[in-house]
């Protein structure tokens, strides 16, 4: 526990020093301004859930990628490889700090998109799950990036896949084919945000899927990120 607390303090200091929190506020403010300029107030649950989803998707993939690339460039990862702290502490610290950022910014977007009329408990749960999934996926992806240019390619590919479920989300794909998109974790994220905006929109089965599938991806993402981080240390960031 002491190792985790030490790593948490290190990550918070590093993120503040590198203006990650400033960038988070700016990106969230940009989404909120765009939402406020729309002629509909409050937004329909489907539209609001998209804007809420966009925030953790950005933080989980882009911001965590930038942080790890900076640590690679400054040889921090190589130094961590010879410390007594296990890789799980590094992954847990990054996941906790960035997920909290995503939860706070996601709540801000939800407040303005829905005029504060949403289920706070369900929204907190949806944001916690989705941000954890996104951050763990971001950690796994950035570990294989050989450079910033390589990271941009990986992120473009990753975000493209994550945004595919927007097709059934906005009714562009329907029927049995819609559930083909359900294998992508962002489908469950969008569904949980829509349900948090209006719980009556989701059936019990849909809630079980939305929550359970994200929990499954947290487990997958944890071991995936841990494996990639271990390999990146062994080869000094690849």
**23-47 pLDDT, tens per residue?**
889 989 999 999 999 988 788 999 9
**pLDDT over 50 (residue 60):** yes
Cβ(118)–Cβ(196) below 8 Å: yes
Number of Cβ within 10 Å of residue 43's Cβ equals 19
Q: What is the mean pLDDT of residues 172-183?
A: 84
Q: Which residue has the higher pLDDT, 67 or 146?
A: 67
**pLDDT over 50 (residue 201):** yes
- pLDDT at residue 82 in the model: 55
- pLDDT at residue 188 in the model: 96
pLDDT band at 237 (very low <50, low <70, confident <90, very high): very low
Cβ(128)–Cβ(99) below 8 Å: yes
pTM of the complete model: 0.89
Q: Which residue has the higher pLDDT, 129 or 232?
A: 129
**pLDDT over 90 (residue 171):** no
Work out how many domains the chain is built from and give that number.
1
Q: What is the mean pLDDT of residues 70-91?
A: 70
Q: Which structural domain, as residue segments, surrounds residue 76?
A: 2-234
User: Residue 174 — left, alpha, or beta (φ > 0 → left; ψ -120 to 50 → alpha)?
Assistant: beta
Distance from C-alpha of 226 to C-alpha of 190, rounded to nearest angstrom:
26
Distances (CA, A) of 61 to 99, 144, 151, 194: 11, 13, 10, 21
**Biggest CA pair distance of the chain:** 56
Cβ(65)–Cβ(141) below 8 Å: yes
Rounding to the nearest 10 degrees, give the CA dihedral for residues 118, 37, 105, 80: 150
pLDDT band at 112 (very low <50, low <70, confident <90, very high): very high
* Residues 147-151: contacts with CB under 8 Å, at least 24 apart: 148/69, 151/65, 151/69
- pLDDT at residue 173 in the model: 84
Cβ(141)–Cβ(153) below 8 Å: no
**Tokens standing for 3?**
């190792």
pLDDT band at 92 (very low <50, low <70, confident <90, very high): very high
Distance from C-alpha of 22 to C-alpha of 38, rounded to nearest angstrom:
25
Q: Does the bond joining 13 to the residue before it have cis omega, within 30 degrees of 0?
A: no
Name the average pLDDT for the chain.
86
Who's near 18: CB < 8 A, 6+ residues apart? 66, 67, 70
Burial of 179-190, coded b for 16+ CB within 10 Å and e otherwise, reads eebeebbbbbbb
At 128-169, the pLDDT tens digits run 999 999 999 988 888 777 777 777 887 788 888 888 999 998
**Tokens standing for 182?**
């359900």
pLDDT over 90, % of the chain = 48
- pLDDT at residue 238 in the model: 43
Task: Please give the full DSSP string across 172-216, using - where no structure is assigned.
Answer: SS-GGGGGGGGGSHHHHHHHHHHHHH-GGGS-HHHHHHHHHHHHH
């Amino acid at each position: 526990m002491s190792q985790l607390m030490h790593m948490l303090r290190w990550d918070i200091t590093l993120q503040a020093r590198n203006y990650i929190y400033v960038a988070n506020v700016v990106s969230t403010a940009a989404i909120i301004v765009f939402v406020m300029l729309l002629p509909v107030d409050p937004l329909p649950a489907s539209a609001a859930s998209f804007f809420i989803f966009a925030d953790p998707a950005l933080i989980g993939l882009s911001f965590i990628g930038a942080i790890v690339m900076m640590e690679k460039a400054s040889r921090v990862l190589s130094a961590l490889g010879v410390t007594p702290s296990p890789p799980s502490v590094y992954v847990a610290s990054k996941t906790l700090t960035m997920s909290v950022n995503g939860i706070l910014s996601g709540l801000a977007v939800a407040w303005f998109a829905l005029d504060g009329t949403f289920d706070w408990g369900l929204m907190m749960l949806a944001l916690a799950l989705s941000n954890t999934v996104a951050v763990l996926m971001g950690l796994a992806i950035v570990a294989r990036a050989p450079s910033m240019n390589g990271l941009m390619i990986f992120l473009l590919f990753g975000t493209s896949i994550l945004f595919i479920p927007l097709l059934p989300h906005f009714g562009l794909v329907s029927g049995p084919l819609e559930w083909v998109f359900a294998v992508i974790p962002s489908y469950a994220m969008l569904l949980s945000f829509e349900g948090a905006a209006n719980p009556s929109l989701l059936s019990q089965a849909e809630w079980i899927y939305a929550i359970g599938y994200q929990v499954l991806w947290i487990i997958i993402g944890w071991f995936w990120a841990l494996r990639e981080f271990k390999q990146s240390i062994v080869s000094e960031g690849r």
